[in-house]
Amino acid sequence: MNRYLTALAVAAIAALSLTGCAGKASEPFKDAPEGQRNNSAADTMTFPDGFSNVATKCDHGNRVYVVFHGDGLYGSLAVVPNDKSCVTP
């Protein structure tokens, strides 16, 4: 009888955990709504092999710099707020 209750408890826990995962898999994305897109071209600076490249563009009066290295999985981002060279419409 004790083994039967243990097996029943294990089966119940497994069933509950599996149904919890299935519910998450079908849940739609709950991303934040999108505002305006800035698809304008960026100015890029390419450096010799072994050095990272830089792209920059203005967005809402701020200058955004992105440092990247080819198709590498890493990069960095810097923002200069209220850059005088960025004209806001």
Give the pLDDT of residue 79: 95
Within a domain: 60: yes
Using the Cα atoms of residue 83, residue 51, residue 73 and residue 55 in order, give the sign of their dihedral. Answer: positive
Within a domain: 86: no
Within a domain: 23: yes
Domain that residue 62 falls in: 2-30+41-80
Within a domain: 46: yes
Over the chain (89 residues), what is each successive 10-residue block's mean pLDDT? Answer: 66 63 62 85 91 92 90 88 84
Give the pLDDT of residue 30: 75
Report how far residue 56's alpha carbon sits from residue 68's, in angstroms, rounded to the nearest whole number: 11
